[in-house]
Amino acid sequence: MSDRLPRLTCAVLLKQADRNLPGWLAWHLALGIEHIAIIDSGAFDDTRQIVQGLQKDWPLSWHPIETEPSQTPEEHRLEMTRQAISHLHHVTQAMPQRVTDEEDGETTPVEDWVIILDADEYLSPSRELTAMLHQTEEDTTGIALHWRIYGDAGLLTPPPGHVVANYTWHAPPSFADHRFVRLVARLESLPSPAKLTDPHMLGLSHEQIIRPNGRPFEPTDDEVLNSELWEGGCIQHYICALAHNEEELPPPMRAHYNRNEHMTAPQTRDLQAMRQLSNKMRESALRAGLARLQKLVEPQLEEAQLKHQEDETDLAIRSHVRHGTFHYDRIRSSVRSDLLLNPQFSTRYETGQTVLLRFPEGRLLEGDPPNHHEPLIGFWLESVPHLLTLYGQDRLPFTLGDAPCPFGLASLRIAPGTQKRFVHLPHEANHGSTPLEIIPTNTAPAFLFAPLPPIDEPDGLSIHGLLTWLAGHPDIQPYDLARGLLLLSPSSAQHLRNLAPILADFLPSQPQPDFLP
């Protein structure tokens, strides 16, 4: 056992933009990984915006690399792995090399471990990472965790919410590809990046690698493999759920990997920790997204200024007129006075209603798990019946499945039930298709919400309307932006995903086909 304090850093290898990146980061940071490096060989702009928007508050770094188009997949993997190890060396050298105990003031040297993963691989240890790493012997160079390959669970399209919560069916232990492992490796034991020739076993000898249960790693021992495959942890591999297209996962490969024979539910502890941290990360994302949109407002105002000048030029009225019996001086309107007539710029306040949500059996909706056993209060506007904002009476943070709940608020698009005054929460709120009854209350709203902009397209709010709203409300709060984003039309929501990918979690989910339940 090492007398140094273990510290795990991670690199994730990206080949293209991944809509699940924020959830991937939240999962691994919640496990206790102390820094994540995003090694980007193709997603560039989208990933850069997401990481730069988050790294002010979170231990993340973005490292773009250019690879040769002529490289084989094996050469591409090797180059990215070399870059990852080199980058993690720089990251760990800049981190403190000793940790001071706050109680006795003693310092302990740190020992750096690393793991290199793809964006569809999720580390899943059975116990805390520090405990797993701290009990390794000094001569151990790596810990081998086997794949557990998950199928698509029969879902035709990826549902909203976290991939770990949505996909729980996987191949049986005997599936041949479960022999594949990823290593948690001692950084000091790795060869220099230039000398690395094996991107999978990282140049480490099998004799010095153990399994997460502490037993020796014997890659050819079938009896041990079948009995101890996932003892102590595994790498959950969502190859079918997260493949982008047929080029990335051709139909024959999908048919091979799409196995759904066994079900393993994620540990409640890990899901809850991830969801709590995810909501904190979403606060950072909202702030960064709001700042980006406010920069886009500036050209919007410049456009309004140009239009105003054109209108002034086209208006054939002289500025000064004098006659024998009267005279006048023309008063020119300003851009702001013109904008004040715009309903998105000058939104009006409406009286809202506070409500409770009641299940058919009579209990009221609470956060999960209900730490304080207090029902969530909803703020609802009659003019926007499909939008509901939930919060706790104590204003403390809460989780509601995978629904975004930053700043202790959850703004949701709700769907009407078959009966009046009944609604359904979205899939990611984790309450299935249960109808909830809206119960009006006399409780005063706990927050002063900004008035929402009226829609200006047949199916929702346009990007132009959203930016005009932001121009008229320069002091808007991030949680108000979360409410406004849910008004966007489907086409505008898709456009905003490209303009500000860091806000993707807050955009309306794509409509579900009519034939799906």
- For the stretch 150-199, pLDDT in tens is 999 998 888 899 999 999 999 999 999 999 999 999 999 999 999 999 99
Calculate the average pLDDT of the chain.
Answer: 88
pLDDT tens-digit series, residues 479-503? 999 999 999 999 999 999 989 999 9
Same domain, 156 and 289: no
Pairing of strands 142-149, 233-237: parallel
Same domain, 28 and 78: yes
When pLDDT is cut at 50, 70 and 90, the band that residue 1 belongs to is low
pTM: predicted TM-score of the whole model, two decimal places: 0.91
pLDDT at 44 over 70: no
Helix (H), strand (E), coil (C) string for 15-76 = CCCCCCHHHHHHHHHHHCCCEEEEEECCCCHHHHHHHHHHCCCCCEEEEECCCCCCCCHHHH
pLDDT tens-digit series, residues 94-150? 999 988 877 777 888 999 999 999 999 999 999 888 888 988 888 899 999 999 999
Same domain, 33 and 51: yes
Same domain, 40 and 96: yes
Measured in whole angstroms, the distance separating CA 157 from the mean position of its chain's CA atoms is: 18
Q: Which pLDDT score, from 0 to 100, does residue 317 have?
A: 61
pLDDT at 66 over 60: yes
pLDDT tens-digit series, residues 290-336? 999 999 888 766 666 566 555 555 556 666 767 767 776 655 666 66
Q: Is residue 73 part of a domain?
A: yes
- Structural domains counted in the chain: 3
Mean pLDDT of 450-470: 93
Q: Is residue 421 part of a domain?
A: yes
Same domain, 461 and 474: yes
Two tokens, residue 433: 């298709």
Q: Is residue 380 part of a domain?
A: yes
Q: Which of 86-100, 207-221, 283-297, 388-402 has the lowest mean pLDDT?
A: 207-221
Q: Is residue 316 part of a domain?
A: no
Same domain, 459 and 415: no
Mean pLDDT of 343-354: 88
Same domain, 284 and 417: no
Same domain, 278 and 242: no
Among 446, 474, 502, the domain boundary falls at: 446
Question: Residue 233's domain is classified under what CATH number?
Answer: 3.90.550
Q: Which pLDDT score, from 0 to 100, does residue 331 have?
A: 59
Q: Which pLDDT score, from 0 to 100, does residue 516 have?
A: 36
Percent of the chain with pLDDT over 70: 89
pLDDT at 21 over 70: yes
Q: Which pLDDT score, from 0 to 100, does residue 147 have?
A: 96
Q: Which pLDDT score, from 0 to 100, does residue 248 have?
A: 83
- Token pair 């690399």 in the structure block, residue: 65
Same domain, 247 and 298: no
In contact, 150 and 223? CB cutoff 8 Å: no
When pLDDT is cut at 50, 70 and 90, the band that residue 513 belongs to is very low
Q: Is residue 235 part of a domain?
A: yes
Mean pLDDT of 361-378: 87
Q: Is residue 103 part of a domain?
A: yes
Per the omega criterion (within 30 degrees of 0), is the bond before 69 cis?
A: no
Domain of residue 141, residue span? 5-265
Helix (H), strand (E), coil (C) string for 76-102 = HHHHHHHHHHHHHHHHHHHCCCEEECC
Same domain, 240 and 299: no
Same domain, 407 and 486: no
Helix (H), strand (E), coil (C) string for 200-266 = CCCCCCHHHEECCCCCECCCCCHHHHHHHCCCCEEEEECHHHHCCCCCCCCHHHHHHHCCCCEECCC
Q: Which pLDDT score, from 0 to 100, does residue 275 have?
A: 96
Same domain, 496 and 442: no
